[in-house]
Structure 1
């Protein structure tokens, strides 16, 4: 290595040494100062000798203030992109048609049973591909029938109804460990059981009711299939368009928030395409577009890191600056146009010519760089922009044709994956049957809440008392934010819905024309706003249920209003109080999800550094696992930061290790573009030793975070060193810079350990001076 390169290497390393700790700590240190001050004040109010979880004076006041403010924000929070007017219309028709036919044929109660089944089953078809929605709705329909039969038979025996409600509530809670969809099936089944058990029936009538409810679910499935067949859009294409829209925003503004949105959209697209019934040719085109988008995202990360590194050293040329800017602008414009393209089928000729001009401009810049960099043909900027130009040209080529060319299908070899098997579901449930599992704790809490609510309304013989457990199961959720922050929105929407709907049922309507009209309008409204605004959805849903049940409930209006409002308020309060008595804070899951993230990053790191050419399938698999773990960890940590309690974890350490992991993951993305290129680099003994040391260090950090090795003495940790032997065989200065970033990110993780209690490792002990590395 030349003297100038050695000097640059030493300079880079010194810069990392001095400034990278500040970059990790500064944003979170400012945030945590206020938290520590508040926590200290609250801790001073705890009685002497009380455990850490004992309610301090002022603790509940702070908790309620924060949760109330967030709930008030949630009441008005909305997302226009989540309005679903057309799907909501066919969902509403499936609810109204059975009632209309039942009224005309004098079989009102039969029509009501089908309508209730259609109403509940439709919630399983709100989101996802046709294949996923159909599978979920079939499960919901079957389990609704089973719950209806059991509920109608057991409704006359209070102790049996309460016992079954507890068991069904526990099952609904533990299903959250499997997936969100499974948890949704469990909750919908529980709701049906609560409603039906209020009106006991004989075995013949119970079987008849079960078949009617199942028929409602199947009617919803038929109408969904017809609607999807007539629709020009599908969930798979929408997910791919979201990927292109988020990457366009990321190319224009590279922030942590836009980066996380890209990761979430890629995860959603993978989920949709892996559970799809699209035609092979159409599916392959979307799959290749997603793979190309992800590769281009890596090049965005690489190009911006190249520019920043060259700017820091004053070595960025005008051609390089212009080339990177042109590439990012081209990505932004092309990807936004693709995201707006109907079904992403084919660009119009005018759009093709515009993007071809952009690619021509980028190509001319590359030719100019090739001339000016003739003495350094391996320039990292030139290599990155050349790869980016090629991938953008492929995107334009694919979007210019209706079908995917066979060459792309061969090159990218897209393959479908099968959905999870039932065996995996039972394995997940068995694994979570422990109090260490938040899903198990939620299941127990939900079972106890339903037991108390059912005992109260059965024991006190409350009129319309089933609203008490029904509200409780709707309010009580596995985490703090969903239970408290959305609790006020739920309570407000439910109470207002009960009041308005009960008043509307007081209007004389012997022909039921008003009731049918209200059912259609309210069903359409609730399915349209289901993901738009939660308080509005709660209002429409409650109103719809009240009017539907008014067909066989004949209580006096004043009694009905009082009973429903009272039961709704007490059911909500019961759920909130039980969560307060036995809360599940996300701080209990923080260590696990961060350790899982580190565990998922390890094979991705090894593959990036060690993989030979043609290992793209393995790399893609590891990258997706790391992305999923990252998304899960960020979600849990964000909720942990919002919890209004004095945490046992060090929030500064948690934030610091998450920031370091973000940096580690992004650096791997930028290095992945050189995977399998340098055989000499991969085979070098110093590189092999360094990779092994880094892998061992990640294992040590994972164990420390997970809690299997809480004390991590400095003597047990010898940080890997990017020494001169590695620098000599590195393919470029950029690659060396990436290795240094990995190493510094790892050391920043170590600085944050342990994430609870006093830190055991001092940076000065594990650090090495810049001179020792040069």
Structure 2
């Protein structure tokens, strides 16, 4: 339960509406409250600048969409003009949504606000609706400033994210060799992804860097130490070799020390008997030194800066254009339907289309079904509330209560999010004087109509199949893994040998520095591929069947990442020299898997020649799991066997 976000959301909604009531300008208060709601939808526990940038991007897009919609309504545009403008806006919204998480939020609100502005009652003057959205959002940002100020270590979102990563590492170590180890590693990867986003995008001016240099450098080094420990843990996970409980407890103590702002953390004296365990021991001791504030050689470097041309390239990419056309088609169909059939709130259909047609947020099919069911429940809740009272102050309290639940509902389930958002939207319409209780149930019909349009024109008839989402992610993952493997092999050639010492052998030199971020890129790409496969599994046939056929490849690639990490530990601490034949076997298998993904030919063989683990949950289908690895044998050779077994059988089609 994100209590701080929930309280901030309730106050952010209640105050603009209350001010509007007190000054008898509820028309402006409703739009300010709408801006506060849009800010709440994009609020996160982040550093102040990062949080303001995330909210600002989304709300500015929302204000632009509102200006477009209100201008159309003020000009009394006919159905044809309205449909054309909304279709063009939908194309821009879809193209922007494909650029990443921030673009996705901004693109959705651009279209949602344009649809709302074309139908909601206009304030006086009409153009004041758009500026009131940033006003309400700015109030939410101001409410969150104390939470984002790093006056105390435990209050800094970056410290909390670092502590969460160490906690996840401790859970992974505790689960080594058990059935929950794979799920724990996925959580660990997600925590590191979040931490990387918080640290990698944060920028300070020169004066702030001078004032906070020691603190920033220390946090960065703690993060780098966590990356080294994660690599060692991933190698142990692949080898299915547990560690003593007192060793698995060390990351949890490191997390507690990070929350306190530092302190000594003792690493128990144990006897690591394999290269991967030795790598873990060295990494944990280095992490304890960084948390305590001592200098230690990590052999890492800050993450490469983002490419300033990335947004432009992705805006003009094939995927962005395809998704933009997909959204535009659905909006065009929705506009044609609303223009030819008498709907009391014609903007509800395009607004629902914008919310449902978001494949980056999960299964479109499940979102359409959840939206319809959630709207029914939300309308029932709203009708029950309005039967009790229609007092404006009571409605203001209802809206604040609904928006307070939004941060929790958004993270919990899309259907629950709809149950919360529907009463909030209907109450705002009631406050604006546009709706009555009798008009609420037609919103169910509008929602079902919009969901049907999305399912037919944006899901069934559109060539946006899993091969356009899953297979490109798998290509990225195989490419990143191949680059990581090449860096490990090159690093072995530059090391001084097995007696060079743990620190000098740990990612030493320029190749070692590149190896750190190639490894991080590979693990992140694997997490993206896993997410796309899991979203595809939730789709009905044939989408679900195709995703299931790629599941074994995703699991094999995840294990390959662990095998390369174990192989790197064997090189550093075991003195193993890479066998060119083994390296070439893995490269050939990766190249073959990449070619299969590009040719839309998923493998159907089991991912390892060993019996499968006991049945897992429905969300995590059972895949074959390798037996414990013999540390005297090459980890890379074992990985080559697994990939070759995966690729041995091909589907007939």
Query: Does residue 594 of structure 1 match 2:474?
Result: yes
The alignment partner of 1:221 has SS state of helix
| Counterpart residue number, 2:556 | 660
CA apart distance, 1:338: 3.3
CA apart distance, 1:480: 10
Q: 2:159 aligns with which of 229, 234, 237?
A: 237
CA apart distance, 1:116: 1.5
Query: Does residue 424 of structure 1 match 2:424?
Result: no
- Once residues 536 and 430 of structure 1 are traced to their aligned partners in structure 2, the CA distance between those partners, rounded to angstroms, is 35
The alignment partner of 2:119 has SS state of coil
| Counterpart residue number, 1:49 | none
The alignment partner of 1:584 has SS state of coil
| Counterpart residue number, 2:268 | 359
CA apart distance, 1:234: 3.6
Q: 2:9 aligns with which of 67, 73, 91?
A: 91
CA apart distance, 1:646: 4.1
Query: Does residue 187 of structure 1 match 2:108?
Result: yes
1:307-343 Cα shifts (integer Å, max 9, x gaps)? 86xxxxxxxxxxxxxxx743xx233212223345572
Q: How does 1:117-266 map to 2 (within 5 A)?
A: 117-126=35-44, 128-155=46-73, 156-158=76-78, 159-199=80-120, 205-229=125-149, 232-254=154-176, 255-266=181-192
Q: 2:224 aligns with which of 291, 295, 304?
A: 291
1:60-89 Cα shifts (integer Å, max 9, x gaps)? xxxxxxxxxxxxxxxxxxxxxxx2122221
The alignment partner of 1:455 has SS state of helix
CA apart distance, 1:171: 2.0
8 Å CA contact retained: 2:237, 2:562: no
- Once residues 590 and 417 of structure 2 are traced to their aligned partners in structure 1, the CA distance between those partners, rounded to angstroms, is 45
Q: What TM-score results when the alignment is normalised by the length of structure 1?
A: 0.69
| Counterpart residue number, 1:526 | 406
1:558-603 Cα shifts (integer Å, max 9, x gaps)? 2x12432332332233323332343633244443332322211112
| Counterpart residue number, 1:720 | none
8 Å CA contact retained: 2:69, 2:117: yes
The alignment partner of 2:526 has SS state of helix
Q: What TM-score results when the alignment is normalised by the length of structure 2?
A: 0.81
- Once residues 554 and 178 of structure 1 are traced to their aligned partners in structure 2, the CA distance between those partners, rounded to angstroms, is 36
CA apart distance, 1:472: 2.5
CA apart distance, 1:164: 1.6
1:71-115 Cα shifts (integer Å, max 9, x gaps)? xxxxxxxxxxxx212222122212221221122122221222222
| Counterpart residue number, 2:625 | none
The alignment partner of 1:346 has SS state of coil
- Once residues 650 and 493 of structure 1 are traced to their aligned partners in structure 2, the CA distance between those partners, rounded to angstroms, is 29
The alignment partner of 1:486 has SS state of helix
| Counterpart residue number, 1:495 | 376
The alignment partner of 2:249 has SS state of helix
- Once residues 378 and 557 of structure 2 are traced to their aligned partners in structure 1, the CA distance between those partners, rounded to angstroms, is 46
8 Å CA contact retained: 2:35, 2:133: yes
- Once residues 602 and 259 of structure 2 are traced to their aligned partners in structure 1, the CA distance between those partners, rounded to angstroms, is 52
| Counterpart residue number, 1:449 | 330
Q: 2:194 aligns with which of 256, 262, 268?
A: 268
Pick closer, same or farther for the CA change 1:642–1:107 going to 2, 3 Å.
Answer: closer
The number of residue pairs the alignment matches comes to: 594
- Once residues 55 and 455 of structure 2 are traced to their aligned partners in structure 1, the CA distance between those partners, rounded to angstroms, is 30
CA apart distance, 1:276: 2.7
| Counterpart residue number, 1:394 | 286
Query: Does residue 463 of structure 1 match 2:340?
Result: no
| Counterpart residue number, 1:574 | 453
Which consecutive unaligned segments of at least 5 residues does structure 1 have? 1-82, 309-323, 367-380, 712-732, 759-774
8 Å CA contact retained: 1:241, 1:344: no
Q: How does 1:534-545 map to 2 (within 5 A)?
A: 534-545=414-425
- Once residues 410 and 403 of structure 2 are traced to their aligned partners in structure 1, the CA distance between those partners, rounded to angstroms, is 10
8 Å CA contact retained: 1:149, 1:206: no
Q: 2:642 aligns with which of 745, 748, 768?
A: 745
Query: Does residue 617 of structure 1 match 2:617?
Result: no
Q: 1:702 aligns with which of 572, 594, 598?
A: 594
1:599-650 Cα shifts (integer Å, max 9, x gaps)? 1111211111122242321101211121122112222233344443246987
The alignment partner of 1:751 has SS state of coil
| Counterpart residue number, 2:619 | none
The alignment partner of 2:411 has SS state of coil
8 Å CA contact retained: 1:236, 1:276: no
Which consecutive unaligned segments of at least 5 residues does structure 2 have? 205-211, 496-507, 604-629
The alignment partner of 1:208 has SS state of helix
- Once residues 340 and 677 of structure 1 are traced to their aligned partners in structure 2, the CA distance between those partners, rounded to angstroms, is 30
Pick closer, same or farther for the CA change 1:749–1:609 going to 2, 3 Å.
Answer: farther
Q: 1:335 aligns with which of 251, 270, 273?
A: 251
Pick closer, same or farther for the CA change 1:688–1:476 going to 2, 3 Å.
Answer: closer
1:698-754 Cα shifts (integer Å, max 9, x gaps)? 43542343229999xxxxxxxxxxxxxxxxxxxxx94752232243234234424x5
CA apart distance, 1:449: 1.9
CA apart distance, 1:509: 5.0
Q: How does 1:706-725 map to 2 (within 5 A)?
A: 706-707=598-599
The alignment partner of 1:565 has SS state of helix
The alignment partner of 1:359 has SS state of coil
| Counterpart residue number, 1:757 | 652
The alignment partner of 1:530 has SS state of helix
The alignment partner of 1:673 has SS state of helix
